[in-house]
Amino acid sequence: MTEAQERHIEVPKTARYWVLGEDIVSPDELWFVLHGYRQLAARFLRRFEGIADGTRRIVAPEALSRFYVSREPGRHGPVSVVGGTWMTREDRENEIRDYVRYLDMLRDEVGADGTPTTVLAFSQGVATACRWVTYGRIRPRRLVLWGDYLPPDLDMGAARVALADTELLIVRGTADPALDEKLRAREEASLEAAGIAHRFVSYEGGHDIYLETLSGLARL
């Protein structure tokens, strides 16, 4: 009996993103904000309304894969909650390649060249942002990693080169149940070994975006 063979085909894909401050003619800053697992861009973007002060444009790309979060019996209906995911363990290399290419295309679409840019990522979006900055064409002024760790398979040599002119801020909540001391120590050792400058920002709270902390970052 012949064994099944895995194959791939590239197909067109329509991606969705949301924008705060699209009417600003010449924004002082451009922010890309990457949501976490089970989130959608529109809901995530609401957390940034408090810093949408007319000086910055904030772009929230949505992950290319969506799924029903709720597990109610029977068919899913209009009240079923939908979430997104940047990737899973299945066919991961192609999923990573796809979202890096997608985010690069979005960068070109919104015209990032010449505008001071911040990439802020939350939870699952942290790994996505790290890979985008390392393997893609985005070179932000700041990379803010909130509520998760660098992906363990990240090429730290390539990351050091990509982050040469980027300020790296790592944001941690004192009561975030998603954080782990062993993973924190491993991340710190990896950054130190690679010679990547970084700064930690701590806040009192759990696994969420807190406006007070976010506002402080926006003022930096």
d(C-alpha 102, C-alpha 64), whole Å: 9
d(C-alpha 213, C-alpha 130), whole Å: 21
Low-confidence ranges of the chain (pLDDT < 70): 1, 74
CB 96 within 8 A of CB 88: no
d(C-alpha 132, C-alpha 31), whole Å: 14
CB 66 within 8 A of CB 40: yes
User: 3-class DSSP state for residue 181?
Assistant: helix
User: 3-class DSSP state for residue 146?
Assistant: strand
Torsion region of 54: left, alpha or beta (phi above 0 gives left; psi -120 to 50 gives alpha): left
Structure token digits, residue 61: 């790309």
Bridge partner list, 218: none
Burial of 152 (0-12, 13-18, 19+ CB in 10 A): exposed
Domain ranges of the chain: 17-70+78-219
The CATH T-level fold of domain 17-70+78-219 is Rossmann fold (3.40.50)
d(C-alpha 171, C-alpha 149), whole Å: 10
- Determine the pLDDT at residue 220: 82
Give the DSSP H or E segment for 56.
strand 56-61
| Helix axes of 92-110 and 125-135: crossing angle, nearest 10 degrees | 70
Residue-wise pLDDT tens digits, 2-52? 899 999 999 999 999 999 999 998 999 999 999 999 999 999 999 999 999
- Determine the pLDDT at residue 111: 85
- Determine the pLDDT at residue 112: 76
Q: Count CB-CB contacts under 10 A for residue 181.
A: 7
- Determine the pLDDT at residue 67: 87
- Determine the pLDDT at residue 133: 98
- Determine the pLDDT at residue 191: 97
